[in-house]
Structure 1
Amino acid sequence: MEYDHHLLTALAERWRPETHSFHLSIGEATITLQDVGMLLGLCVDGLPITGNELYPSDIDEYLERLLGFCPKRDGKTAIRLASLRQHLELHRDRVKISNLEALQRARCHVAFLLAGCFFSNKSQNKIDLFVLRLLEDPEFLWTPYVEHMHTLPDGCRHGEHIWRSRTYLHYYYIVEGHYPDRVMRQFGCRQVIPDDPLNETETQILHRIKRSSHHRNWERDHAIYVQEWHSQANRVVEGTPIAYPEAPPPYRSWYHSKTVQFIQDPSHEPDAGGYHGHSESVHALSDELSHHM
């Protein structure tokens, strides 16, 4: 690409940082949101690009998960674009790749776009790690109360000592498990593979209990679960505090083997691994139809 250095020099001299505009002899002019939309085709009414710059404790593992490989870094907070380019060229001829590999490869391409057009730096050969945060999945606020905890009445923190208690919640005939060990990131802790909840048979029995017109002593009938509640202080789940809500690879592998990937007709029973048997084919068919609509 050829540059008109004389024009660029003239514009640089006319730029006023106080007003973010060019002060020309005929008046002010600048780059507007209209220019961004018309020239680049980008959405200009979305969320602001902001957030914290906290880096994960294991940066190499983070990059491996996000991009599919660990590129060379320039210091601690930037990666070299040449490393991204070499990785893409090395795997350019691979056609049969998984959905995850396709997503990781797309992130590499987008990283080039971000580094070269929108968030370029003086060196023009690296991209800051916090820019890569834009390529992550939509952000989920794991600890929404931290910044407001000190402003809340004391009553809101009553019982804080059992917030992470693995116990059972009661309402007469209703008994439901409380499993904070499955959501430790909501408490600012590292998530590990949790213990199993109640077995499926026992859960189904509890869920089938209906309110009866007969007089029943639920404290007696649910004595084993009531005892669990009274032992709540001894069942608090310990956790390792972390600054960044990351989940280690063993947990992610375990979770993806158990969770349901796609929403489907609830009349279909999931298989033993937790996935709906026909969900992937339904999802693929939906994608194919959307391309023709």
Structure 2
Amino acid sequence: MVGRLRPEKHTFHLRTGKATITLQDVEALFGLQVYGKPLYSQYEPIPGRTWVSELIKLTHFMPGVAIQISGLSRVQIGAFYTYLLADPPIDDDTLQDVVDHHARLYLLSMFRAILFPNTSAAYVCLRYLIFLEHLNFLGD
């Protein structure tokens, strides 16, 4: 499919004709909401904080190593999985805060792998944390 893409027109040239991917196609294929309030990202955390401090605050995960690429902090995704597998499994008696912390780590890994993949396959960018601060607002 990549060979058939014409980026200047955002279309695929197929044997049967031209095809354009629309937002409605994305919504149907991936179940992503295309209507409602837009998401936008600021590239700096709240003044006086760093992305790593935001990660610790929102997930209680202490990264061993965080690297800076283009001014953004990134953490190895394997460290998330090691941390999550070391914790006891979540059950009915697990505190809501612990569930929220784990959910944020899983969502961050999904952002890196599915929604916003990039060439640094081993690292996840921490700027997506701002979208995960208030989990109870995620579907509104």
TM over 0.5: yes
Does the 8 Å CA contact 2:4/2:13 hold for their aligned counterparts? yes
Report how many residues are paired. Answer: 128
Tell whether 2:80 aligns with 1:88: no
| Separation of aligned partners in 1, 2:130 and 2:65 | 16
Q: CA deviation at 1:61?
A: 2.5
Does the 8 Å CA contact 1:120/1:127 hold for their aligned counterparts? no
Paired letter, 1:119: F
Q: 1:32 to 1:71 in 2, by over 3 A?
A: farther
Alignment of 1:210-221 (within 5 A): none
Does the 8 Å CA contact 1:14/1:22 hold for their aligned counterparts? yes
Tell whether 2:75 aligns with 1:79: yes
Tell whether 2:58 aligns with 1:66: yes
| Separation of aligned partners in 2, 1:23 and 1:74 | 42
Q: Which has the higher contact order (CA 8 A, sep 6+)?
A: 2
Paired letter, 1:39: L
Q: CA deviation at 1:134?
A: 1.7
Match of 1:27 in 2: 17
Alignment of 1:260-279 (within 5 A): none
| Separation of aligned partners in 1, 2:6 and 2:129 | 30
Q: CA deviation at 1:16?
A: 1.8
Greater Rg by CA: 1
Does the 8 Å CA contact 2:59/2:102 hold for their aligned counterparts? yes
Query: TM-score, normalized by length of structure 1?
Result: 0.40
Structure 1: state its 5+ residue gaps.
1-10, 139-293
Alignment of 1:252-267 (within 5 A): none
Q: 1:127 to 1:46 in 2, by over 3 A?
A: farther
Query: TM-score, normalized by length of structure 2?
Result: 0.77
Tell whether 2:91 aligns with 1:99: no
Paired letter, 1:29: A
Match of 2:112 in 1: 115
2:63 is paired with a residue of what secondary structure?
coil
Match of 2:138 in 1: none
More strand as a share of residues: 2
Match of 1:37 in 2: 27
Match of 1:230 in 2: none
Paired letter, 2:60: G
Q: CA deviation at 1:124?
A: 1.9
Match of 1:14 in 2: 4
Paired letter, 1:16: R
Structure 1, residues 137-161: CA drift from partner, whole Å, max 9, x if none? 28xxxxxxxxxxxxxxxxxxxxxxx
